[in-house]
Amino acid sequence: MPDSSPFSASLDAKAGIDIPEPHFSSTLLVFQLSDRVAAVRLEDVERITPMAELASPPGLPSALEGVLNLAGVAIPVLRLDRLFGLPTQQLGLHSMLIILRAPREGGIAILVDRATEILSVFESAFLPIDQEDSFNGCAEATVAVRDDIIHVLSPTRMLVAKEQAALTEFQIMAQRRLQEWEASQT
């Protein structure tokens, strides 16, 4: 029976057998979303924060839960359950906000039931999904881990162009209101 220890590759290399070293292709932030398990690549995540009080101005698009004031920056918070037609998320003690690195100007956060783990995944474990097989190509792959199928989401494709444009306008308006409010308090 072959040795599966970390030292076996160097032993086999000395014997003239070329065994490729396994390498991780991605590190994922895995989270619960309604009744699903999903993930984003860790390099797309700026930070994870507990649920906070959100501003809910009139005219809020239905896909938004509200606007987070993060150190004076207005960050819109997306409800992926509404956007993707999933069962309604129940906000609870473990609800989290995943603030994504800006795929667009100003940043965006997604509301999740809870962040469950950071997972390094071998490249061979990814099952690519064709763009036409998910809305706007927002699911780029699936990964089977333990008993779960994890949908790997692309932050740049969660919204269609018109939604991104409307969100940008809304965020500019929210940022202006936030700045005016802070200026009136000083």
Residue 116's pLDDT is 93
The model's pLDDT over 111-138, given as tens digits with 9 standing for 90+, comes to: 999 999 999 998 888 888 877 766 666 7
How, if at all, do strands 36-41 and 148-153 pair?
Answer: parallel
Q: How far is CA 14 from the centre of its chain?
A: 43
Most confident listed range (30-34, 124-128, 174-178): 30-34
49 found inside a domain: yes
The verdict on residue 138 lying in a domain is yes
> In this predicted model, which residue has the larger pLDDT, 165 or 143?
143
Question: Within a domain: residue 17?
Answer: no
Q: Which domain holds residue 27?
A: 23-185
Q: State both tokens at 185.
A: 């308090």
- The answer to whether the pTM exceeds 0.85 is no
- Residue range 58-69, pLDDT digits in tens: 878 888 898 898
Residue 5 forms part of a structural domain? no
Task: Judge whether 4 lies within some domain.
Answer: no
Domain-embedded: residue 38: yes
Domain count, the chain: 1
The dihedrals phi and psi of 151, each to the nearest 5 degrees, come to: -90, 120
Label residue 48 by pLDDT band (50, 70, 90). Answer: very high
Sign of the alpha-carbon torsion through 133, 137, 141, 142: negative
- Burial of residue 17 (number of CB atoms within 10 Å: 0-12, 13-18, 19+): exposed
| Residue 81 falls inside a structural domain | yes
Query: If you average pLDDT over residues 35-54, what whole number do you get?
Result: 92
The domain that contains 45 carries what CATH number?
A: 2.40.50.180
